[in-house]
Structure 1
Amino acid sequence: MKVITVTGFKGGCGKSTTAINLATFLSERGKVLLVDGDPNRTALSWSQRGALPYRVADERQSFKWVAGNDFLVIDTPARPDSSDLQELAKGCDLLILPTLPDVVSLEPMLATAQALGEATYRVLLTIVPPPPSREGQQMQTDLQASGIPVFQTMIRRAAGFGKAALAGVSIREMTGRDRLPWQDYQALGKEILEVLADG
């Protein structure tokens, strides 16, 4: 079983959205359990409004559902301190750090990366504004220049996410332009599978 943890150093960076849509991608390749460890219970609430193609459980209930899964995706509380981060990294195969492509997010991300040291992690740029904005590409370049591992895939900013959350489904189930971000999560999922295969 592969364990993927999604954590963020601040709220509103697409952490739970990423956990939900990544779990959907992985559910096409095996059995998935999404553990909602965030006190806000975003993933649990999302799943109760509709239907996700895998089980969602909070961290207290998850123990009875862990066995037999191919993938375990963990949505953690926001703002972990450095010791929490190190523990999270030790307990998983890949730690994903969603972050916004803005200068305010860059310094905390550099500090986070320093705290993680040699752990297997990748930064994921989320809620990236569309062209002609180059904020996403600029942040990606800045992170790479600092030696921080960052996914090539970026998750676009899109109204479809709010609609999917309201309906209690993943972005994969949306139609028309609202479904376009699913392409981002498919590309991200493929990158993640490569990282896991190399690990």
Structure 2
Amino acid sequence: MIIAIASLKGGCSKTTTAIHLAAYLQKKAPTLLIDADKNRSALTWAKPEKLSFKVVSETAAPKYIKDYTHIVIDTQARPSPKDFEELADGCDLLVLPTTPRALDLDALAQTVDVLKQMGATFKILLTQVPPRSTAARDARKSLEELGLPVFKAEIKRLVAFERAPLLGTTIKNYPDARAKDGWSGYLAMGKEVLR
């Protein structure tokens, strides 16, 4: 399965989602994460070599792809319509992470408009959801009323998500009692991806 993580707006947990989805999928079958973002955030995260899956650049990917069952692509920031067209054609699912903030939802709406015209297969993931937030509930309701596919899973806003990359690990292995809540969101999301 080939899954691309994409967003028109930075700061929506694109790389975090790519890392954690790859960690989940690796438990099921060999998984490769391709870092196609110019920032190379996933490669930086993987430098300490503590992740359970392989991370390579887009340039190196052709050498490795044949050896993996699952491919996760951390796409470049702010893809163009042409980039989205190529992603839609080359992957089984586009995951669109977004926070429940108004500006992020506006950028998501622009992305969805482009993807609908292409007939792309995509699903929206609510990320950085604050505790006891009505904003997330309202965002989900609005997206569902528009008939858009939304993951049931939500990813909580936790400090551990900011600190785990510094250790080169997923939140599952981050030494913080609340980190398990963050991992449970990606665990639920992963199960939905493989349904």
TM-score range normalised by the length of the shorter chain: over 0.9
Instruction: Spell out the pairing of 1:56-135 with structure 2 (5 A cutoff).
Output: 56-117=55-116, 118-131=119-132, 133-135=133-135
What is the deviation of 1:85? Answer: 1.1
TM alignment of 1:1-199, pairs within 5 A? 2-117=1-116, 118-131=119-132, 133-175=133-175, 176-194=177-195
Q: Tell me how far 1:106 sits from its aligned partner.
A: 2.2
Amino acid at match of 2:170: S
Moved over 3 A (4+): none
1:62-84 deviations in whole A, cap 9, x for unaligned?
Answer: 11111121100000111112222
Q: Any conservation in 2 of the 1:50–1:167 contact (CA below 8 Å)?
A: no
Q: Is the 8 A contact 2:7 2:108 kept in 1?
A: no
Structure 1: distance between partners of 2:84 and 2:141: 24
* Residue-pair matches, total: 192
Q: How far, CA to CA, are the matches of 1:64 and 1:84 in structure 2?
A: 22
Amino acid at match of 1:157: R
- Residue 36 of structure 1 deviates from its aligned partner by 0.3
Distance 1:84 1:188 in 2: 25
* Equivalent AA in structure 1 for residue 13 of structure 2: G
**TM-score, L = length of structure 2:** 0.95
1:197 corresponds in structure 2 to none
Note if contact 1:19-1:73 (Cα within 8 Å) is conserved in structure 2: yes
| 1:50 shift after superposition | 4.2
Q: For residues 38 and 25 of structure 2, what CA distance do their matches in structure 1 show?
A: 24
State which drifts further: 107-116 or 19-28: 107-116
- Secondary structure in 2 aligned to 1:179? helix
SS in 2 for 1:10: coil
- Matched-pair contact (CA < 8 Å) for 1:13–1:99: yes
After TM superposition, the score normalised by the length of structure 1 is: 0.93
Return the alpha-carbon distance in structure 2 between the equivalents of residues 9 and 108 of structure 1: 6
Gaps of at least 5 residues in structure 2 are none
Is the CA contact (8 Å cut-off) linking 2:140 and 2:150 kept in structure 1? Answer: yes
Distance in 1 between residues matched to 2:140 and 2:193, nearest whole Å? 17
Deviation at 1:181, TM superposition (A): 0.4
- SS of match in other structure, 1:49: coil
**TM-superposition CA deviations, 1:27-72 (whole Å, max 9, x none):** 0000011000010100000000341001100000111111121100
- Alpha-carbon deviation of 1:111? 2.1
Deviation larger for 183-192 or 41-50: 41-50
Gaps of at least 5 residues in structure 1 are 195-199
